Chain A
Amino acid sequence: MNHLEYHSRSRRRFLRGSGLALSLPYLPSLEARRFQKEGTHSPPLRAAFLHFPNGAWMQDWTPKPGADSLNLSSSLSPLAAHRSELTVLTGLDKQHSRTSDGHAHKTANFLTGMPVRTTTEGDFSAGGISIDQRIAEYLQGQTPVPSLVLGVEPIPAGVDASTGVTLLYSSCISWQSLSRPVLPQNAPAAVFDRLFGVRAEVDGVSVSRISLLSKVLEHSRSLSRGLSAVDRQKLDEYLESVHQMETRIRFETQHSEHRSLRYSAADFARPPHPEQFSSHLSAMLDLIVLAFRMDATRVISLMMANDVSQQVFQMPHGISEPHHSLSHHQNIPDRIRQYQWINQWYVRNFSGLLSRLRDVSEGDGTLLDYCMLVFGSGMSDGNEHHPDDLPVVLAAGERTGIQGNRHLQTPVGTTPLCNLYLSLLQRFNSEERQFGDSDGILF
């Protein structure tokens, strides 16, 4: 398995290079000592949402029925080690994606479940707030960083002329509001800087950063004069962001005991910019682990690759065609085999993330015990672009109270994907009874 070797090699290289080493014998004891004073408080829950592109070959994804416990298909077999945390969900759908063809209307609303507007202009919309941003809103003020929105491939500029949509849709799954995407960060170093905040990079200015920010706010407020409502909104988005930065600095001065502040960027090297797609993805997964471990944030979304991703993979028998081309497999067995291989590749990466989370101790268990991770795609079979019976799995640690090792089947066409999201939102003790197009909860 070429890629696995490559995968672990690159990961080692990154860890060595970055000093982000999750050096197992050392950390548990150190961290245990460090965080002993945190007392009896149970560690917080975390949630992550990972999107993989171009759907999946469902015949080799859906677990075989019959057995009492989870009977993993070969695409999902890399997750066998995490069986006890795993729930495979089949039959979930996004009804608002049924109206149009193409990827945009399936991807942009992966976490909103609401209709996506066909447009190349500024009136774009993903129909509503995404679940990660909803959770972030709910957890506001508990961590220095409200949420991380991560990606690997750069956001493509331009429009898809044939379907008439902005390409923004194929790379953004996180939406602060229906018209306000959060552009995924894909530079590992920048994400790293963000976790450690102002103190990492510009301590010289940090003394006065807060008064600087308030002056920026004061000055920029006057600029909205004479602007149309739409542009004023854009400028307001900036002002709001500046205000949030201010809030973060205040948070860090007021919560000097917060765990994240006990981590110092100096203990780690900033990750270099990865050259290969696989090592890039791996770096992003490492950053998820770091962010959760530091408790810098409790909710993260990751676009493992933009939809319509054209990544080319080194497979056991040669190079694949670009991923998106293969996803239109036309029911040719050889193409399906390659397509399925790529599905499995992403599953393996997800499984790698679970392992890394399990390797970190947290409270009296592991970090994974406190995590809920959704891994899925906005469409099922990429050849058909169906937004029904989506390939979705949930990995939830034992402290989340969600039972694992099961196959949760709902009849196709009856259960919105948002029911899963609402169920997760409620795990954060939210009293929300509705999210997106939800009509109930799953557990």
Chain B
Amino acid sequence: MYPTECPQSPHSLPGLIVSVGIVLLLFCVARGPAVDVAAEVYARADADFCELIDRRLRRSSLMRLALFSPATASLDGVQLDEWCRGQRSFRFPGDSDESAMFVQGPTPSVAGVRVDAFPLEAAHVADLKSFTAECWFRWHGKGSRPGPNAADIASIMSFGDAINHGWGLSLNLVTGHVTFSIGRDKPQGAASITSVSRIPPHVWVNVAVVRDADSVRCYVNGLLSAVGKGVGVSGTAPPWAKLRLGYVGNGLGSAVCDFAGAALYDQPLTDRDVFRLNHTKVSVQMMSSLLKARSLLVAGQPSEALVVLWNCEEATSQSCGLTEVESYLELEQIEDAARSAAAVISSGDAAAHSSTHSPTVTTLSATEFTKAAVRFLLRAVENGVTFRSSREHRLTGQVNAVRTELSGAAVESLRDANAQYAAEQLQICSEQLSEIFTSTMQSRLQRVCGACHHADGWVTDARRIFAVQQDVDAETAILRADLIEVLASRTMPPRGSDPLSDSDRTSFLRLLRDLPERQSCSRQETSQNRLRQRRRLTRTEFRNSLFELVGVRPGDALLPPSDGGGGEGFDTAAGTLTMSLSTAEQMHNCIASVVRTGVREGGSSVLQQILNEFDAGDPDISDSLLDFAERAWCRKLTADDRELIGSLTAELRVADANAAEQAEGLVAFILMSGDFLFPWIRSDGEGLDRSARAWILARRLALFLWSSHPDATLLQRASDGSLLSPKILESEVQRMLADPRAASLGYNFGEQWLGIRGFTSNVAPENFHPSFTLPVREALMTQAGNFIASLLTTDRPLGDLLRSRVHWMNDDLVDFYGFDQPGTGWRQVSLPDEYPGGVVGLGAVLASTSYPARTSPVLRGRWILDHLLGVRVQPPPPDVPPLTETDESAGSADMKTLMEQHRRSVACRGCHAVMDPVGLTLEGFDAVGRRRRGNDLRATLQPRGTLPDGTELVDAAGLEGWLQSESRAVYRQFARKLLGYATGRRLTLEEICEVDRILDACDASSLSGRMLVQKLVLSRTFLGWSPETDESGLE
């Protein structure tokens, strides 16, 4: 029983109801087995609209409460007023407990209506911690506030008193925003969210609110419009609490609204569910169109925006928001758009037209644009009336009212405001669409991959993979590509765990591939080359450059600490080369010490010359010193430079320094200057003359190819500017590669790329493998460096990376391998065919991917995937079940059997399904990289592994064959890393594309290392400008 209920005289009912313009009919309550609670109220809606909603509610298997039949009478009638004053409630016919009560708002002239839907037991509704409520309403643009000083907030739908208990959905009568709140007057437990969308007057809208375990959300027309973390704390609703539409009291006003239906679901619907309730389908194409239209509208090109939307509707047979946009655009603008489209067609100059527009539009080809324009024009003309009526429907009465009252200027500004509003709406709409898409895809990804990868960055941060945006950063693009790759290759999800059906896989892949606005290789990105950048010399470069200039090699203890690394994984990464007092001090001490030794004990010839000039006591500044400064700083000296050097010379003389001390001081000064320690590594050349650009290029070239300073020849080419000519640049690259200094490509780039730095100190101590002595480890390291250096400096083809078994060995290594290879010093020796070809066979690689006591197929497999193929291997998920691994010396364990444990576990299977078989093929080689022999139990086993696609790899030869089939990826990874090393930063997607173009332009496997280096040097990525543009300008 309800306290508000009061006895009614049955005979008076029909008249009353008719007189207030509302007919109430009771429908049977249809309780679906799965849904416990729902309420539905129809009031005063257009017949067809009500029917539509009725159908939809039936289809959603909701329990329906009551239907207010269609009526046309106005709400603010006097009869209602009387009815309200009576505070009487209406009892539905039949034996139901349902009743409704009409309550007048605080301002009698704008009465509100409150419908209390009684049959829902308060306790039942109050128990709903997670729910969805929605209603359709049409706001007539006015309402009343509860008191003179109260806010203009009107209740739309509520449960309980919407303040101390229950929740409420309210409308701001001024701004049109809707607010959903729970427990509003309890700040610590309040949840209140306000929509970004505004409710337009005179238009039917659907507003849905959702509360789930950790958030509250509000949707307008199916699109997410507000989200709040925190779900609010609501007091326990008393038994008389009501689910209400309209006026509720408690400080809230009433809005003059029509209601067409309301529903309460006993579960939180997802974004997608809510969207689906309102729209039947969201397509990628639709989103893409909306994004384009949005940017066009913002750019003040409404006609183009409409073309895009027309096109979308045509193709998808879905509403793409066209009517939304139209409704807010002035008719004149639409007609303008139609006219301009007509003009385009009639002039037949579609190409010229399209080229004058924003880049987004030019992505439509000229033909596409013409087609779109034709379609648009025809539709526009045919539907002119529709435009008009829809505009009149949807543009609020405000516009017309204001139009009559305001001046022309005000109308203009109103139009602008409307256009802006339309753009905003569209933006919100497209953002919400992409939001829905992104979160749907994210949750799918989490469902599919999350069981094993729940802690991985790409899963926890999966949004960026699916974010619908124009500019995709390289990392995200790579993530997408990786994801596509593993899905397409069926590597993931691992078989057996399978959470992904074939059709799901296909649709998932298609969505990923069709993500709009993926950057393509054809797009030219120029902005980032406009940077100018310096970075500190690395430890290695510092050492080599000092030697080049001073002629003295500093000892290791004098050098600054080793550098970290970043970018593509090298110490040359500009961002991570830092400077602190200790580093600076050590650099200075090193310079001082080296210069002192050079001056006193004989260093480079330049140094001798400088000393000679000081010895001669010439009062002028030493010419050799100035030459030296020019050489060290790689630029022409300025007057300021000369003056500074002059004043330091004078100071030193005043201090009574002898010739040697003077020379030392000045040379040290030159080397301590930032010009020497912080070379330019990027320069677009803007504002620089030819020679300055050439100097900078010379230094960068020397850092790349020699990890050192330019020599005299290179500096000569720089100072006369000839280095900028591609032909001379090519010949310089070849000269430098032939120089012994290019060995740095091995010991610096090679060691870092192979990931074997630290190998000499970190691998097994000698007493476990007695023959694996420090000299052997150092020799293996040198061997690995030599392999890469000789590949990059000679005509050896890139294919050698995977094929060649010819390695450099010294006596230590020949003994270590037990080869009978006479000779002295470092010599080239062929490994037997049973060894893996290329870098995989390098002892340094095989040993540094092993544990001291045993081999690790996992580490080896991972190394091949990560270093050679560029496949991102995720770290093991936390809480992996233990894998029993025994010491190799136990002798009984068959590594393959152990590995099978990995693959039985679902958590491990995915990654290990690829890593293990790849690594297992190398089981014939022990922890220090030698072929197993004799009494080693595993010497006789034939190592084999089966890839996820069923390919069986047998022994190292099987691995080599498989790598050959994947060789394109290997060359790409190698070239990419080399370019990343050279540029000292992570490559952007366009830059990786440039690597692809270089490799695609020829047969990559026969491309020689020398040519690869040359092509990379002449790339736009390395140079910072296109080499062709300079050729024409030369001489």
Whole-angstrom CA separation of A163 from B876 in the bound complex: 11
Partner pick for A228 among B531, B560, B595, B596, CB 8 A cutoff: B531
Contact A314 B651 (CB under 8 A): no
Which residues of B have CB within 8 Å of A215? 644, 647-648, 669
Query: Interface code B514-552, partner A: CB below 8 Å = 1, 0 otherwise?
Result: 000000000000000001111110000000000000000
B661 adjacent to chain A (CB < 8 Å) = yes
B34 adjacent to chain A (CB < 8 Å) = no
Contact A273 B582 (CB under 8 A): no
Residue in A closest to B656 when the chains form the complex, CB atoms = A207
Whole-angstrom CA separation of A236 from B872 in the bound complex: 36
A238 adjacent to chain B (CB < 8 Å) = yes
Contact A245 B588 (CB under 8 A): yes
Which residues of A have CB within 8 Å of B570? 157-158
B373 adjacent to chain A (CB < 8 Å) = no
Partner pick for A235 among B565, B566, B678, B853, CB 8 A cutoff: B678
Which residues of B have CB within 8 Å of A164? 457, 475
Residue in A closest to B460 when the chains form the complex, CB atoms = A100
Contact B674 A231 (CB under 8 A): no
Contact B677 A122 (CB under 8 A): no
Contact B564 A166 (CB under 8 A): yes
Residues 119 to 150 of chain A near chain B (Cβ within 8 Å): 119-124, 146, 148-149
Whole-angstrom CA separation of A120 from B655 in the bound complex: 48
B762 adjacent to chain A (CB < 8 Å) = yes
Whole-angstrom CA separation of A162 from B482 in the bound complex: 13
Whole-angstrom CA separation of A60 from B673 in the bound complex: 53
Contact A205 B536 (CB under 8 A): no
**Which of A45-53, A178-186, A356-364, A404-412 has 4 or more CB atoms under 8 Å from chain B?**
A178-186
Which residues of A have CB within 8 Å of B511? none
B571 adjacent to chain A (CB < 8 Å) = yes
Partner pick for A242 among B575, B584, B873, B874, CB 8 A cutoff: B584
With contacts A218-B644, A228-B532, A238-B674 taken as known, whether A158 is within 8 angstroms of B755 at the C-beta atoms is: yes
A202 adjacent to chain B (CB < 8 Å) = yes
With contacts A180-B580, A238-B536, A241-B583 taken as known, whether A220 is within 8 angstroms of B566 at the C-beta atoms is: no
Smallest CB–CB gap between B458 and chain A, Å? 9
Residue in B closest to A101 when the chains form the complex, CB atoms = B455
**Which of B322-330, B763-771, B808-816, B830-838 has 4 or more CB atoms under 8 Å from chain A?**
B763-771
B574 adjacent to chain A (CB < 8 Å) = yes
Smallest CB–CB gap between B636 and chain A, Å? 14
Whole-angstrom CA separation of A319 from B147 in the bound complex: 83
Contact A176 B851 (CB under 8 A): no
Residues 984 to 1034 of chain B near chain A (Cβ within 8 Å): 985-986
A31 adjacent to chain B (CB < 8 Å) = no
Contact B566 A322 (CB under 8 A): no
Which residues of A have CB within 8 Å of B872? 161-162
Total of A-B residue pairs, C-beta within 8 Å: 280
Partner pick for B579 among A120, A122, A234, A310, CB 8 A cutoff: A234
Contact B567 A159 (CB under 8 A): yes
With contacts A241-B581, A242-B584, A273-B557 taken as known, whether A157 is within 8 angstroms of B757 at the C-beta atoms is: yes
Contact A187 B567 (CB under 8 A): no
Contact B851 A245 (CB under 8 A): no
Whole-angstrom CA separation of A176 from B578 in the bound complex: 11
Residue in B closest to A151 when the chains form the complex, CB atoms = B561
Smallest CB–CB gap between B557 and chain A, Å? 4
Contact B533 A168 (CB under 8 A): no
Which residues of A have CB within 8 Å of B852? 312, 319, 321-322
Query: Interface code A381-398, partner B: CB below 8 Å = 1, 0 otherwise?
Result: 000110000000000000
B897 adjacent to chain A (CB < 8 Å) = no
A22 adjacent to chain B (CB < 8 Å) = no
Contact B674 A223 (CB under 8 A): yes
Smallest CB–CB gap between A148 and chain B, Å? 8
Which residues of A have CB within 8 Å of B559? 187, 190
With contacts A162-B872, A183-B580, A183-B582 taken as known, whether A155 is within 8 angstroms of B596 at the C-beta atoms is: no
Which residues of B have CB within 8 Å of A321? 851-853
Whole-angstrom CA separation of A114 from B593 in the bound complex: 40
Which residues of A have CB within 8 Å of B332? none
Residue in A closest to B536 when the chains form the complex, CB atoms = A234
With contacts A156-B565, A219-B675, A312-B764 taken as known, whether A238 is within 8 angstroms of B589 at the C-beta atoms is: no
Whole-angstrom CA separation of A149 from B78 in the bound complex: 85
For A122, A154, A314, the residue with the greatest tally of chain B CB atoms inside 10 Å of its CB is: A122
Partner pick for B592 among A201, A310, A312, CB 8 A cutoff: A201
B824 adjacent to chain A (CB < 8 Å) = no
A222 adjacent to chain B (CB < 8 Å) = yes
Residue in B closest to A179 when the chains form the complex, CB atoms = B578
With contacts A234-B579, A238-B584, A241-B581 taken as known, whether A156 is within 8 angstroms of B758 at the C-beta atoms is: yes
Which residues of B have CB within 8 Å of A40? none
A237 adjacent to chain B (CB < 8 Å) = yes
Residue total for B at the interface (Cβ-Cβ under 8 A): 92
Contact B578 A180 (CB under 8 A): yes
- Size bin of chain A's contact surface: 35 or more
A227 adjacent to chain B (CB < 8 Å) = yes
Which residues of B have CB within 8 Å of A124? 566, 575-576
**Which of A68-76, A325-333, A343-351 has 4 or more CB atoms under 8 Å from chain B?**
A325-333
Which residues of A have CB within 8 Å of B752? 157-158
Whole-angstrom CA separation of A225 from B118 in the bound complex: 76
Contact B655 A207 (CB under 8 A): yes
Whole-angstrom CA separation of A277 from B760 in the bound complex: 12
Contact B535 A219 (CB under 8 A): no
With contacts A157-B563, A228-B532, A330-B882 taken as known, whether A220 is within 8 angstroms of B674 at the C-beta atoms is: yes
Contact A231 B534 (CB under 8 A): yes
Which residues of A have CB within 8 Å of B665? 205, 208, 212
Residue in A closest to B877 when the chains form the complex, CB atoms = A101
Which residues of A have CB within 8 Å of B678? 223, 234-235, 238
Smallest CB–CB gap between B496 and chain A, Å? 23
Whole-angstrom CA separation of A168 from B767 in the bound complex: 31
Whole-angstrom CA separation of A287 from B667 in the bound complex: 32
A281 adjacent to chain B (CB < 8 Å) = no
With contacts A154-B562, A176-B580, A219-B675 taken as known, whether A162 is within 8 angstroms of B875 at the C-beta atoms is: yes
Partner pick for B564 among A167, A188, A238, A385, CB 8 A cutoff: A167
Residues 363 to 383 of chain A near chain B (Cβ within 8 Å): none
Partner pick for B581 among A119, A228, A245, CB 8 A cutoff: A245
With contacts A101-B878, A122-B574 taken as known, whether A319 is within 8 angstroms of B768 at the C-beta atoms is: yes
Residue in B closest to A124 when the chains form the complex, CB atoms = B576
Smallest CB–CB gap between A438 and chain B, Å? 25
Which residues of B have CB within 8 Å of A122? 566, 573-576
A226 adjacent to chain B (CB < 8 Å) = yes
B761 adjacent to chain A (CB < 8 Å) = yes
Smallest CB–CB gap between A271 and chain B, Å? 9
Contact A330 B883 (CB under 8 A): yes
Contact A226 B532 (CB under 8 A): yes
Smallest CB–CB gap between A241 and chain B, Å? 3
Contact A183 B563 (CB under 8 A): yes
B694 adjacent to chain A (CB < 8 Å) = no
Whole-angstrom CA separation of A172 from B562 in the bound complex: 12
Query: Interface code B874-903, partner A: CB below 8 Å = 1, 0 otherwise?
Result: 110010101110000000000000000000
Whole-angstrom CA separation of A244 from B579 in the bound complex: 12
Which residues of A have CB within 8 Å of B585? 194, 241, 245
Which residues of B have CB within 8 Å of A182? 580-582
A204 adjacent to chain B (CB < 8 Å) = yes
Contact B853 A238 (CB under 8 A): no
Q: Could you write out 7 A-B pairs with CB less than 8 Å apart?
A: A162-B873, A183-B561, A187-B561, A188-B557, A238-B536, A238-B678, A241-B585
Q: Assuming A161-B866, A238-B584, what are 10 further A-B pairs, CB within 8 angstroms?
A: A118-B457, A155-B561, A166-B576, A181-B564, A187-B556, A208-B651, A211-B655, A219-B674, A240-B581, A330-B880
Q: A-contacting residues of B (Cβ < 8 Å)?
A: 455, 457, 475, 531-536, 556-571, 573-586, 588-589, 592-593, 595-596, 640-641, 644, 647-648, 651-652, 655, 657, 660-661, 664-665, 668-669, 672-675, 677-678, 687, 752, 755, 757-758, 761-762, 764-765, 767-768, 851-853, 866, 872-875, 878, 880, 882-884, 985-986
